[in-house]
Amino acid sequence: MIIHTTTGRIMKSLGAFKGSRPIYDREGLLIVRGVCRDKNFESYDSIKEYLKNKLNENGFEIIENNNEDIELFIEKIDEKLKGNEIYPDAFGFEILKKSFEEMGCCCDYVVGKKGDITVGISMWYDKIKKDPKFVEVVCC
């Protein structure tokens, strides 16, 4: 239940709660996708800066220079997805980012931790149109 509340708060802070949809909601893992409508996004220099600020606002410590923590987060996600209709991604967020950039999108992500909960937020949008700004929050 706490991951639902946490994810909901993060989606609200991104202005993405309305119309958001869970992609996966089982076994201590919640993945929700939505569209960021936060008017303050433009005041930030980068997607990463914006997402870091949103996680900090929600009481999370940013995991940035600790690849071990990020790898553990990805392993935890993969373990929870095993045997389900969604295939695990052993390569994680960097491959996601690279694939969106190759399609002509701006993309970045941030991972944060608060107690036993780890959250990853990805955002991507078309470089030319700039909208919509898609967000995906992974919480476990």
13-61 per-position pLDDT tens digit: 999 999 999 999 988 999 999 999 999 999 999 999 999 999 999 999 9
CB-based contact 27:36 (threshold 8 Å): no
Model pLDDT, residue 85: 53
- Number of compact structural domains in the chain: 1
The residue range of the domain holding 122 is: 2-139
**pLDDT-based confidence at 113, cuts 50/70/90?**
very high
Higher pLDDT, 97 or 62: 62
What amino acid occupies position 25?
D
Q: How far apart are CA 22 and CA 109, in angstroms?
A: 18
Three-state DSSP class for residue 59? coil
Per-residue pLDDT tens digits for 70-106: 888 888 888 888 755 555 454 567 777 888 888 889 9
